[in-house]
Structure formats: C-alpha cells, structure tokens
Amino acid sequence: MPLPNTPKQATEQRQASLVSAALALAAQHSPARVTTADLARAVGLTQGAVFRHFESKEAIWLAVIDFAHQALLARLHTAAQSHVQPLTALRAVFMAHVDFVVEQPGVPRVIFQELQHPEDTALKARVRVLMQDYRSLVTRLLLQAQAAGLLAPGTDLQASAVLFIGSVQGLVMQSLLSGQVGAIRTLAPAVFDLFQHAVAAPTNPTRRPPETTE
C-alpha cells in the first residue's frame, strides 16, 4: 500500500505544478500579464494557497528559471556526452537546445521578458548563472575541438562561443516573433552548418599546383 505524501512532498508537488502552469501560460501570453490568480485557476488552488507554496510571484518565476537551468543543462550535457568528436558534440548540443525550446517555449519568453528591464534583478542574476554554465560547456567543447586540430588556426574561442549561443538565440527570437516555434527544427541544421563553416579547419585545403621549370 503506497505511503501518503509527507507535507514536504505535497509542497514540492504543488510547487512543480505551479512552475509547469507558469510555463504553459507564458507560452501563450506575455509573462508580465500572468497573475497569481491565473496560476491558481490553472492548478485548482485558491490564490491564497499559491502564497503558501511561494512567497511571491517573483519567487515562482525564479523557480521557473531554476527549472530551466537544471532541465536545459542536463539535456545539453547528455547531448555532448553522446559524441566523442567535439564538433559533432557541438551539433548535438545545438539541436538539443532547439528541441528544448520547442518543448518549452515559455522559458525563452520569461527570459526575454525579464531582459527588457533596465535594472538588475534576482531573475537576471539567475539567467546570468544559466548562461555562464552554458558558455562553459560550449567553450569546453571548442577547446577539445581546437586540441584535436578541428578548428581553423587563430579561431577566437570566446567569440566562437558567443556566436554559437547567439545563433540559437536568434533562431528562438525569430520563431517567437513568427509564432511558429516548431519551425526552428527545420532551420537549425543549416544555421549550425554556417557556424561550423565559420570556425572549422578546412577539410580539403586548396593546394597550389607544383611549380615547373622550363
């Protein structure tokens, strides 16, 4: 016979439900317009009950970013570890990020909404940590590619990491503007190919014909 949930487990389940509801609502509406009343209705709670699990609406969005950090980075690390060749691993990471956004379009909406505010916030600080961990993973793979002789001589690794992440972010932004998030799965391989072309060592370098003497 299953044991009843402890109060801690019940709270964790409610918190997870509220985070899922926040992401679902953010995928359909501006996160700034999502209210605690909306969240309460989505999970079948009273508005007062929401505040028994989170002290504020900001705390809910912080939990959303924490979820995104854990879920996205776990997926990216798994993708990277599934390939030995570093550039192939980078492609897998790129596509894993795209797949995550297609499944969780509310995440980039929350992040982009917060980045519009000029002042520093706790949410921005959490996003920075997420991006630092993401950049570290990409840079590590680029270092491995460089050590294997797979990058063009003189490739700037920091700029390459920025280009990699910016390419994904550009795809995501365009998909949110168009309202067709799933379309980025079609575009993503060609975009990664452009990135790889920019940083990879030439596989068939052009050779000058041997000189002849007459």
How far the first Cα of the chain sits from its last, in Å, is 95
Q: Which residue range forms the structural domain that includes residue 130?
A: 56-197
In a domain, residue 84? The reply is: yes
Query: How many independent structural domains does the chain possess?
Result: 1
Please give the structure tokens belonging to residue 117: 């505010």
Q: Quick one: pLDDT band at residue 4, thresholds 50, 70, 90? A: low
Q: pTM of the prediction?
A: 0.86
Q: Quick one: pLDDT band at residue 133, thresholds 50, 70, 90? A: very high
Residues 37-51: what's their mean pLDDT? 92
Query: Rounded CA gap, 138 and 132, in Å?
Result: 10
- Could you tell me the CATH number of the domain that includes residue 71? 1.10.357.10
Cβ atoms of residues 31 and 111 within 8 Å: no
Greatest Cα pair distance in the chain: 95
User: Which letter, b or e, does each residue of 120-139 get, where b requires 16 or more Cβ atoms within 10 Å of its Cβ?
Assistant: eeebeebbeebeeebeebbe
Q: Quick one: pLDDT band at residue 7, thresholds 50, 70, 90? A: low
Mean pLDDT, the chain, integer: 89
In a domain, residue 182? The reply is: yes
- Cα 25 to Cα 29, 37, 134: the distances in Å are 6, 12, 26
CA angle 104, 166, 196 (to 5 degrees): 110
**Residue 190 one-letter amino acid:** A
Cβ contacts of 41 within 8 Å, gap of 6 or more: none
- Give tens-digit pLDDT for 53-63: 999 999 999 99
Query: Rounded CA gap, 18 and 20, in Å?
Result: 5
Kindly report which listed range (35-44, 75-84, 187-196, 203-212) carries the lowest average pLDDT score: 203-212
**66 against 177, higher pLDDT:** 66
